[in-house]
Structure 1
Amino acid sequence: MKRKAYDIMPYLFFGSLFLWLAMPLAQAQQPQGSVRVDSIQISRARDSVRIAFRVSLDSLEVRSNRSVVLQPFFKGEGGDRWLPAIEVMGRKRYLYYLRNDSLTYAGAPCRVVKRDKAVAQRLDYQTALAYEPWMEGASLYLGEDQCGCGQVISRAQRPLAVADIAWHPALAYIAPQVETVKSRRLSGQAYLDFPVNKTDIYPDYRRNPAELAKIRATIDSVQGDADVRIVQMQVKGYASPEGTYRSNARLAQGRTEALKAYIIGRYGLADSLFVVAYEPENWEGLRAYVAQSTLADKEGILRIIDSGEEPDAKERRLRNAYPQAYRSLLADCYPGLRRSDYRIDYVIRGFNVDEAKQVIRTRPQNLSLQEMFAVAQTYQPGSPEFIEVFQIAVQYYPTDPVANLNAANALLEHGLAEQALPYLTKAGDTPQAANARGVAMRMLDRYAEAETHLRKAAEAGLKEAETNLKGL
């Protein structure tokens, strides 16, 4: 009578750690008797997990009419998997197996062998699984049924190996260049109102309270900072084209000088810090306005503006040729042409790391990229503080390739590939940036793209890229 094949509950044990790079393990823990297991390898390549080991049967006792079933078992947080078994048969049992349609105790064993005490028996075992997240850190056990009845004979054994198959990317940061002098600037535009033909500033006149407050806020942001020194203050005034060029030149100059005097009077800045300029008639601003307008006579007006005529002649032609459009320009455009541009150039002192760790919380705009990078090095890579520093850096240096690369790397340290992608678009074309793009693509399981980027970086000599290519 044929016996039905069945799956067994295993007798379990485990031992040493094995890295995803598939390097040999140290001596594994052995079960209490019978078989010996060594050369354990647990590795991951893309979406597959490979498990391999060698079993020595030299000490295994198998009665002639019996089988011993060796059943590997892989178990982790959130999942487990029975692996194909090995069935070791005694002499009579093996003959019965050959004569009876491959009848086995184990369900679909990967290998059936006859126990031969006359020789040293070593069995190489290998299987592959589709990768699932629970397999990272999972334990490998080996079940042994010595009686052919599926009975567990011991629960006291330890795992044979623990899988370290989580992929740990190698990331290459770039240290920003040191700024010998941290030169910065702030700029703005104010639209001060003046009575007709007047050059004096009346602080309470029309829009002036708000416009002067805007100028003061810009100056206050640096004037009150003990770490900042103002090196230059630029002021440039513009008048609109209506009236004579001579009159407009007087108004533009006088009103610009009035703004300079207002700033000096309020802040006590030295006259030598100022660079003053003026534009008698803001034809450039007028042209920009007309070009984007929906005026019916736009093309004709632009031809007059672009002509080589003297300013007063152009203004008369514009007024006479297109009176309706001219009235519209006087009401809607000309007030915006009368403006004052201002710019503050200043330098910031350097900070050591301890100072920079305080400044980044209060006035991060005072730090250079290199100083922020130094702060980041005081934190564990991938930690919230580490990521935060690089997020601050890219906030204040949004177009800088190094700031974007390092911000992307910090997110990739934490496995946040999707969040890193916007920064990688602005990270430049260095090998380090190619490596980071490859890491992001690999995290997103876009392996072909990952390989393209990583090979580009590896061919440029970047060691981190060579590491990231392993297993890909």
Structure 2
Amino acid sequence: MNSENIATHFKRVALTLAALLCLALGAQAQEVVRLTGRVVSKQTGEPLIGVNITDTGLRRALAVTDEDGRFSMNTHVGTQLRFSMIGAKQEMVKVKNDKFLTVKLDEDNVQLKEVEVKTKRITDRIMPEPTDIEVKGNWLYVRTRVRVPKQMFQHDRRLVVQPILNNVTENKLTLMHPMVYDAKEYHRTQDRLYNFNMNSETAGDPLAKHVTVKSSATREKGQANDIIGYSDSIFVKNLKAEYSCDVYMAIEDYTHIIYRDTTIIARGTVNPLRWLDCSLLGKPLADASYYPTPEKQMRDSKGNINLKFLIGKATLNTNDPHNDIEIEKLRQQIDAIRADKDATIQSLSLEGIASPDGRYNFNQNLARQRMDFALGYIREKLPENLRSGIEFSSKSSVAPWSEVVALLRRDSLFSEADQVQSIINRSSNIDVQSARIRRLPFFRSLLEARYLPKLRQVNYVMNYTIFRQLTLDEIRNLYAADYKKLTRYEFFTLYRSENDAVKRDTIIRQALEMYPSFMIAANDLAADLINRGESDPQLLEPFAGEKAPATVNINHAIALLQNRQFAAADECLSYVPKTEESELLHAISGVLNGRYDENYKTVAATGKRNELLMMLAMKRNKEALKLSRELPDDEALTHYLRAICLNRADDAVGAYEELKRSFEMDPSLEKIAHTDGDVNDLLLEQNK
């Protein structure tokens, strides 16, 4: 090479390096953006799942759309993205500054070659074997094998099988792991396409970890076709739902979809333990250390007595038995206060009253003297420790003659009452009234003997405060007035004394409304609901765990089991020691979570039906069929379970007869049978 050519060569190299440097600097200057979006069908507008999104410049897979057709990823402004999936025409999109991108893929414009989908024969179809969705705990297991005809699978092709769990009840789809089957040449090409880095999570083939490469090991024994095994499981919370498993399949070469098909490989679930009779009862919390502390409430009380005095004197009439009764009543009240160390007398108010006969001033003084006598008398009756801090007050008065009139009328002595009232009407001076009334012919025999003594009295009102626990009746009255004023202990006392289940539940729910952390109330309500078959798995969620009492964890686990949240129940029971009392609960949780062998004996010992169900779960089908003959023929479930045993023994005719008989005895079983993978094929056969 001469000097001119060398100069030209280096000039070209320099220009190339400069161009590359500019590209590199340009790439570094590109803005990184967070791009989210959704891919839908151009024809239906429905979301497309499993769409691959590839950076065409970097030749790197960036994301795959989820069940809602959504994606989210980091990329650069100006990047060219390829959206592709089996069964649709790929779409190229340049990234702008959009924050959200909607991409529509054309599902109709797909080139099909070699196979006419509408007229498939057994030799030109991908054949996943029908299977069952098996239940173990909250896990659904799908196992199948896929047959691939030799003539369909050439050296430049890939087969993608995408099982999808279909929650029919909630209309929700969940992707399971795909199965990918590569011909050798196709696989080598993919490997080179991704720079021999197929398994990289960021730069490789997003399906690489699911790939099986065609080899002699995949050839079905004695056949020309290939066969690939598939197994996957998925965790579900709602085992009460109806499930099926759909499979989307496609064969592609480097640029086109060669074949696509959809089939259902499983309708319903195989779960004989759905019939397991647990007979588990909830229990109230009996450990008194968790009971709420009794609270003493301040209660205001009042008492009164009526003391009768001798005529014209300030001393009590000791011959009047009425006074003995009244004084005894006062003594009992004082003794009750003295017996309570938390009682406090706040005030004592006295009112002395004299009868109106005689001169008014004399009567007024007499009333005051009687009041002083009574006040001193009551002071002596009060213990010294109760006298301090009491506020004493009093007043005296003379009863008017109008009260005598009222007493006469009450006793229907209307003539006498009218005569007294006539004197009152003629003069407002009480001394004049008294002198005139004393001249009435019936004064001594009637008024002085019977009615005036009723007006001579000392009344007292003693206000005292006692801190004590409310009685059940007082709590009920307070609850009726306003339940929000009750304390924890008062709620506890009230609901534990209530025999009506509905009222009891209402009281507990109100207690939890006021005191959300009231664990014993939540536990007792949970136990009631469990025993009525209405368990609420969320009720004890805030309380269960390592530090909770065993009873709370046991009730929570039972509620979870009754609501088919088997994995959560198993976790909760890890905090419950295995004792004689909890042995059965541990065993039932164990078998419902798939641990059959270690718990078989404990569960089987609870009855022949449970033993039969254990045998079916363990696929001990011959033993199960034999045992099914020993179950009572007058129960619909016996014939249903016998149908399962016969169907597993390939006696479809006998199985259908047993199934039909179970429907006749209990029509509700037919709805269950349609989702039961052990017998729903019998119904399908009959419907053909």
Whichever of the two has the greater Rg, that structure is 2
**TM-score, length of structure 2 as denominator length:** 0.26
TM-score, L = length of structure 1 = 0.36
